[in-house]
Structure 1
Amino acid sequence: MNQVAGEPVEGDVSLPPNPEQLMLALRQIGYSFEQAISDLVDNCINAEARRVLIRFEYDRKSIRKVLVVDDGRGMTPRRLTEAMRFGAHEDGQEHSLGKFGMGLKLASFSHAKTLSVYTRAGGTASGRRWTAEGVGRNWICHGIPEDDVQAVIAAPYLDLDLRRCGTVIEWDRIDRLVPGRNGTRATIDNLTSRLRVHLGLHFHRFIERGTLSVSVDAHEVGQSVPDQATRIAAFNPFGYDRVGDPNFPQTFDVRIAGVGAVHANAHIWPPNSKSPEYKLGNRAASRQGFYFYRNDRLIQAGGWNGVVESETEPHTSLARVAIDLPQTLDDHFGLNVQKSGVNVPAGFVDAVQGSESLTGMSFPKFRQRAAAVYRQKDERVQKEYPFVPGGSIPAELARRAQELIGGGGKTREVEIVWDDLDDGRIFDIDTSDGRTLRIDRRVRRKLLGGRKGTATDLPVFKTLIFLLVEAEFDKARLSAQGRRRVELLNELISLALRHEA
């Protein structure tokens, strides 16, 4: 007889997890620092905060604490107790950024062994604290004395006003932010730079419309005032000032069988952009692909989710696609715990590949167009690189040519080879497959005068021929004038060789 799912049978036992071992596992989930802070900022936005402050408290040896302070509506004691629960029920807001009821706890324990929350709502202050040891002692969540809560909330936090409501999240006993050899201050500067890009990118819509302001500062223990604060600016991944292709952006209707439809807004960035919103931390190639938003919060910043094999193909670096995920499809588009990536449903890849824009363009054609725009840029840039001789010349000569002609920058190499040429030509130019300067072998034998040749012989002759014709290699094919010049040079050098002793 088959057992019905959930129906008790003889031998069933309740097996709660070993809390100490579970805590060790949960601390290894893999939040980066900026992902962890983003999860806490989600809570601030859910609490209708308009200002958020991220503060490092440090001394010369370590980062002592990290605080995330917001001026949102705060929590009642009962709501705080529920929020501290692992797997807490979300509050049911239509536009909530929460998903699993785990973010506050997992994000915090990924970097610290103590999590304290101090909050005030309607004039009532309350506080609770998790420690790794408390979890190990069968999930004991500690209360915090009201006087301690009041003292923390009353501290100055830039221009945040917590007199009526607000929340302070505090990480203590931090063990995952160990200062490097350059000291604590340098480590904090690096973390701040990472936050600038990550928070500015993932919350750019909130920052741009003025509903959220995020600042970062650092307070050295023993000093009366914190260091000057850094204001987080929005990094809009679609914030170009001119289009890369006048036919874009275009919207693709992606219909997934058995799931529903999403709208994919495809953009092509302008080539050769120096904008920080294109570079996004100097990682432009890895930022191509899909940008999934949920309730205006950016979840995934780039990546093709299986639509293409090469996630970072340089030629498609300009292609970015924005998709706003409706809440009705929450069950189909899964988020990872860190809310940094989207697990697409089966059928998504085929639906994208088969989709068309309102103008009838296919999605593969969009990527091809993005690659074409990139290559146009690439060709323009490469034409600025000077030519240098290469191939069968001494290594020292090739290296010095790079230094003298290229100035230490990028160059384009012309390969010099010996070949059998027709019609008595001394040399010929070949641009059909790379850039090659071909010199007739009979000339080689004449100039060597019976001496044994080497792989890099006659460097003076090769270099002089290269210098005579290097400008011609910038053309896909020789013009009539260019061809005439090559013929004249062949005739003159041939005549000169006849008089060579």
Structure 2
Amino acid sequence: MTSDIELNPEPGILIESLRDIGYSFNSALADIIDNSITAHARKITIYALPEEGSFKVAILDDGVGLNRLDLLQAMRLGSSSPRNERETGDLGRFGLGMKTASFSQCRRLTVVSRQQGDTAAFTWDLDTVVKDNSWSITERFDFDHIFALDQLSSSGTLVLWENVDRITGHDGSDSVDYERLVSDAQEHLSLVFHRFLSGEKDTPKINVYVNGRHLEPIDPFNIANNATQASPEEVVCPGVTLRSFTLPHASAYEDKREYELYGLPGGYLRNQGVYLYRAKRLIVFGTWFGLAKKTALTQLTRVKIDIGTDQDESWKIDVKKVSAQLPEIVRKRVKSLIQTIGAPSRKVYRRRGARLTNPEAYPLWNRTKNGEKAVIYSINGDHPLLKNFREGLDTSSQEQFDSLLALIGSMLPIDTLFYDMSANAEPVSAAALNEEDFSRNTRDFFTTLKQFKEDQEILDIMRTIEPYQSRWDETLSVLGIEER
């Protein structure tokens, strides 16, 4: 004999837990935009502004809007089943996105929707939920007091975040670089929705404005550049298509800023790999899903995989729509294609018969003469690794770095070296780099030189200088190069 006992979740505890699913500010914004696109919006306006000591975010669209009953249902947690069959362009998934994305950033969520001239508005206040321990929302009629509502068109929806504590801190006292926050969000949305922003064929075109700036699409494959190499589109399995791209070398760009733009945040090495799209919306990017290592020689390779909304379960798309897993049938197919995918950017290098006549040594130490007698050794600040590291620092840190190099250079133990080498009792050598440091520096050196030299030329240089010369096989292995 059995009996069923109903165990309802504690509202206050569950609502706080839902805030920690793992959204970032950027992914939360993208989730709200998904709803706007599903509602057939063509213009989406975002305001992310400090307002009277607080930070508010308003996302408005000109979509079809919702009537009062539909909006009330949409405010419910789990408003639709993930197993429901969705329309081709429906970017939703669990019926949780709008709420969990918003709760992850703010403690007060107001949604206003307008349809056929009728306006409805509801507010979730998490402090009230916790205080009353009740799944209660407030219906709003004080339209004049709702931020940005005057910007809502004759039909459409406004999503308003207030008390954005995940940005400003619980009491609003955290120091926030709002300019950087908004700039990063603009760049993220320009990438994630680039196919919608560009009006790609069979894709609804949208216009997105963030604090008045119209977002331009960032195509990670730079298809508009004639130097981009693209393979034919291939059907991996039903519902899954694949196409690989090799981006242009740095020398193909006249403008360095354009080259860096398509490197995306973190650069080419970090952003190589698979770009997974669900219904034309970018879900995951810059990963080989554990099927291949990221190497300097494949840093220009990017692979576009398209799936539909009917693939969610097999790909294990998460509620945030920022992670996925390759289904086994696709994993096997992609694994078999990896070598072909990387072929345009991975070459088999053949050893040349002789070294370069005048190789660039890129010495870490400079040897100069002071007058006719004194020889001075100093650290070479123009060494690619040092120079590249220095350029990534702010002005104050650059000055500290320069002082530190000057100090190290001035403390070269000349007398001790002279004594040890003269005595000749024991061989004198520098400390060897451990495997991890050697690998990191090898990749960094290759990647830095790749900005202005061809792969073969870089390898010829590295073959003639330390620490790579004496560890050549290890150097090739780190770079993922086969030499014959």
TM-score, normalised with respect to structure 2: 0.68
For residues 458-488 of structure 1, the C-alpha deviation after alignment (integer angstroms, 9 at most, x for no partner) is xxxxxxxxxxxxxxx99959xxxxxxxxxxx
Q: Equivalents in 2 of 1:239, 1:407: separation in Å?
A: 28
Counterpart contact for 1:26–1:110, Cα < 8 Å: yes
After superposition, the C-alpha distances for 1:159-199 in whole angstroms (9 at most, x for unaligned) are: xx61x2121111111111128xxx99962211111112110
Query: In structure 2, do the counterparts of structure 1 residues 13 and 249 end up closer, same or farther at CA, with 3 Å as the change threshold?
Result: same
Matched, 1:294 2:278: yes
Name the CA shift for 1:303/1:398 in 2 (closer, same or farther; >3 Å).
farther
Q: What is the Cα deviation at residue 244 of structure 1? A: 5.6
Displacement of 1:17: 1.2
Change (3 A) 1:393 1:300: same
Gaps of 5+ in 2: 351-355, 369-373, 390-418, 430-456, 462-484
1:115 equivalent among 109, 113, 136? 109
What secondary structure does 1:52 align onto?
strand
The match for 1:211 is 205
Identity of aligned residues (%): 26
How many residue pairs were aligned? 376
Contact 2:315/2:325 (<8 A) preserved:
yes
Query: Does 1:387 find its partner at 2:369?
Result: no
**How far 1:403 moved relative to its partner?**
4.3
Aligned to 1:332: 314
- Paired with 1:402 and 1:264, the residues of 2 have a C-alpha distance of 46
Distance 1:26 1:392, change over 3 A: same
Unaligned runs of 5+ in 1: 1-8, 218-228, 355-361, 377-381, 412-447, 458-472, 478-501
Structure-2 change in CA distance of 1:122 and 1:303 (3 Å): same
Q: Work out whether residues 252 and 264 of structure 1, in 8 Å CA contact, stay in contact via their aligned partners in 2.
A: yes
Match of 1:369 among 335, 340, 344: 344
Q: Say which one has the larger Rg.
A: 1
Equivalent residue, structure 1, for 2:69: 78
| Corresponding letter in the other structure for 1:370 | S
> Is residue 2:24 matched to residue 1:32?
yes
Residue 441 of structure 1 is matched in structure 2 by none
1:50-449 equivalence runs, <5 A: 50-59=42-51, 61-63=53-55, 65-89=56-80, 92-136=86-130, 137-145=133-141, 148-149=142-143, 152=146, 155-157=149-151, 162=153, 164-178=154-168, 187-209=177-199, 211-217=205-211, 229-242=212-225, 248-255=230-237, 260=238, 262-272=240-250, 274-308=258-292, 310=293, 312-354=294-336, 362-372=337-347, 386-389=360-363, 400=378, 402-403=380-381, 409=387
Contact 1:87-1:100 within 8 A present in 2 as well: yes
Contact 2:46/2:60 (8 A) holds in 1: yes
Match for residue 379 of structure 1? none
Q: Tell me the C-alpha RMSD between the 2 structures.
A: 4.0
Q: Which amino acid aligns with 1:346?
A: E
Shift of residue 239, structure 1, vs aligned partner:
1.8
Displacement, 1:44? 1.0
SS at match of 1:133: helix
| Residues 384/120 of structure 1: CA separation in 2 closer, same or farther (3 Å cut) | farther
Q: What SS does the aligned partner of 2:275 have?
A: strand
Q: Is the 8 A contact 1:130 1:140 kept in 2?
A: yes
Q: Which residue of 1 aligns with 2:399?
A: none
The Cα shift of 1:301 comes to 1.9
Structure 1 residue 140, shift from structure 2 partner: 0.8
Higher relative contact order (CA 8 A, sep 6+): 2
Among 8, 11, 25, the residue aligned to 1:16: 8
Distance between the aligned counterparts of 1:153 and 1:404, measured in 2?
53
Question: Within 1, Cα distance between the matches of 2:193 and 2:383?
Answer: 47
TM-score (ref. length: structure 1): 0.66
Corresponding residue number in structure 2 for 1:223: none
Q: What is the distance in 2 between the residues matched to 1:400 and 1:390?
A: 9
Distance 2:244 2:382 in 1: 44
| Corresponding letter in the other structure for 2:280 | D
Summarize the Cα distance change of 1:123–1:261 in structure 2 as closer, same or farther, 3 Å threshold: closer
